A and B are shown apart, each in its own frame.
Chain A
Amino acid sequence: MTTFFPGKRGTAPRAAQRGVEESSLAKWTLIGIALVFCVGFLLLPLLNVFAQALAKGGAHYWRSLTEPDSRAAIRLTLMVAAICVPLNVLFGLAAAWAIAKFEFRGKPFLVTLIDLPFSVSPVVAGLMLVVLLGQQGFFGEWLAAHEIKIIFAVPGLVLATVFITFPFVARELIPVMQAAGTEQEEAALTLGASGWQTFWHVTLPSVKWGLIYGVILCNARAMGEFGAVSVVSGHIAGLTETMPLRVQALYEGATTATTAAAFAVASLLALLALLTLGVKSALEWRQARAERIAASGAGQR
């Protein structure tokens, strides 16, 4: 540009500099606010959880996590998440596919339905299940006659968690799928790919990040859900207590030992959450690196 407008050489950088100064003030203010917020409301409480957990020493921490009821709670939480996440992945993919790629009557209604668990209080969601499936509930007699126990048992926990985590995958996928459109899939079809091949090689990779993010959010919520699960659980230590319920039970023990144990279990929950975030970051980093290598490799040849 300087070769074409040599006369402007002197003025252009100064104007640019002022622009940078103004925006940098705004930039640092915003960064500052975000940082204070993150430290004050996220990092400090998190650190506090770990500090409290380790207040009675490492041995007590370890014992708190390995005592039978806590171990049962950890196992149950992981199991519930392991059932809920795949179910909601299947459901989320199907729902997002239907909404993003097809036009049909009642589509807005379906979208609203998917959002329902977000708008309904988890406690209400739990009560809904009790009313339907509990002993005095709508299907109660029939279930009792067939000796199927749902409420105050593991199936109830799974149902409540599935209901609560229902929107996470679908909500993440719908915008990504809509943005991707249908052209890539049609291109695959014209190249001879079957519907399944198209889904596997084209659709799924193009929504990969949305799906991973949805799974992470779904998983975090499935492990952390308290309200709905609390209503249907019955709080039987060692049988129907998930980790969040265990934390509460221990905390209500109200001795210093149980409080420390409550924080120990809570810290493990937090660790699981951090782990899932770590997995996501690692995947993103690997993807970015693969693309960088591809770009530089292509440039050299």
Chain B
Amino acid sequence: MLAKNKKTKFRYVWNFPGFGGWTAIFFGFLYVPIFVLVCYSFNSSKFAMIWTGFSFRWYAKLFSNDDIQTATINSLIVAFAAAPLATIIATFSALALVRGGEFRFREFSNGLITLPLMVPEIVTAVATLIFFASLGINFGLINVIIAHTVFCIPFAFMPIKAALEAMDPNLELAARDLYSDKTSTFKTITLPLLTPGILSGFMLAFVISIDDFIITLMVAGGGSTTLPVYIYSMVKMGVSPEVNAVSSLMLGFSIFIVSLYWFFNRKINN
């Protein structure tokens, strides 16, 4: 009887001592600060951490702040330009690497594409800055778009490559066998089946671009400030309730993008 108890004791993960407590602490650390931030964005006090009452005052102030609006528009322009570009490049890279057969430097190219994920961002940032400066490339926001496209490629590449690898290569052969040429096989089989992967690659690239700070800080000249860079400059002068409000809006936007992705993903799978 005792032996049997011992055997079944750790069969379920919640039977481990302290499982519930540790889980609660973990999620607490992760989400309580964000929750508090969102709560305080509705605070009517002008001191960030003293609650005096509920108000939309800081949101209203946000919408009358031209600098914040310019920064937000810049961020959206950059993300909506860089993420699709990165996704397209990543898709073709993944197709070449996964479906392109054996060619020279195949493994090497694969490593090279994903390497930026491991390079410290500050290194990329400084390198990009020097690169632009030495070539005299100075097109304002376009500089930022080029930089974002480049560092978003590996993020878009990973999920697309994974989706392509999970796809049965016989499906494409079956289509070819059924009188479909290469172009129509790509259009009718590969692309539709790859869409969830491409969407998640796009979403990841988009979120990474919207969120990026270090590289943007280096590359962005005057007039092409993005939202994270602007928020940082606000925080330098002390955490105001306005920062809470703008951060909450960014959070809401991210959640919206992710929900959109899940929605489309479910639609495609059914």
Bind each other: no
Binding site for A on B (CB under 8 A): none
Binding site for B on A (CB under 8 A): none
